[in-house]
Amino acid sequence: MIEFDEHQRKLVLKLVYYGPALSGKTTNLLSLHDQFDRNGRGELMMLDTTEDRTIYFDLLPFFYEAPSGFKIKLKVFTVPGQVRHDATRKAVLQRADGVVFVADSRTSMMAMNGESFANLEQNLSLVGLAIDQLPLVVQFNKRDLAEVVAEEEIRKTWSEAGLPVVMASALQGRGVIETFRMAVELLFDSLDSKLQLREKYGVDRAAFLRAIMKT
């Protein structure tokens, strides 16, 4: 996690959207930003190039405060998809609390998805994180396009690995909220087991989710 201050009763969490170039990571965050309540969303920061829409990160903060005064801030980042920006991807992954892997559903992109996922696992290891111990959701984006892999085939391949999978079209706004909610639920449960958020700090899971998911 980015920051945990027990004395000030404040926790800052980090969720990273990862995946191959132009798979829809930035589109996911743009859609989230558009769908969430204006009072609950922060400024969306983005850097673009002609080579890859995201070269550093998008930042989307949400806020929650428990009746006990314990505060939780959630930051959402994307990473650049191109291999040439691998150093930046590792930097963004540092101290991540959870990951959403955004895959491209097109048949022609299956090999690239596999390579990007292997790169995610490698980079997590390099920054001291284990992929099997991190909340992780897989989103197969671009379901609105032609020549996509059948959903049954995708679920058979990825779900057998124990990973939750969401079908989406970020451009149309479908599956975006569902993906984010699933990631936040897994993130809360993981941190609750580590920090005892409910028992020690009075953080109610349902209230936390309502605050984060407020639209």
- Predicted TM-score (pTM) of the model is 0.91
Q: How many CA atoms lie within 13 A of 193 on its CB side?
A: 8
Strands (E), the chain: 3-5, 10-18, 62-65, 71-78, 98-104, 136-141, 165-167
Round to whole Å and give the CA distance between 168 and 170: 6
Q: Report yes or no: 67 and 36 within 8 Å, Cβ to Cβ.
A: no
SS3 content of the chain, % helix, strand, coil (to 5): 40, 20, 40
Contacts of 32 (CB under 8 A, 6+ apart): 60, 76, 176, 177, 180
Is residue 175 predicted with pLDDT exceeding 70? yes
The full set of domains in the chain, from first to last, is 3-100+110-136+172-212 (3.40.50.300)
φ and ψ of 48, to 5 deg: -120, 155
Express each pLDDT in 101-116 by its tens digit.
Answer: 999 999 999 999 999 9
Is residue 47 predicted with pLDDT exceeding 70? no
Express each pLDDT in 12-46 by its tens digit.
Answer: 999 999 999 889 998 998 888 787 766 666 677 76
Express each pLDDT in 206-215 by its tens digit.
Answer: 999 988 887 5
Is residue 180 predicted with pLDDT exceeding 70? yes
Query: Looking at 57-71, 118-132, 158-172, which range is the least confident one?
Result: 57-71
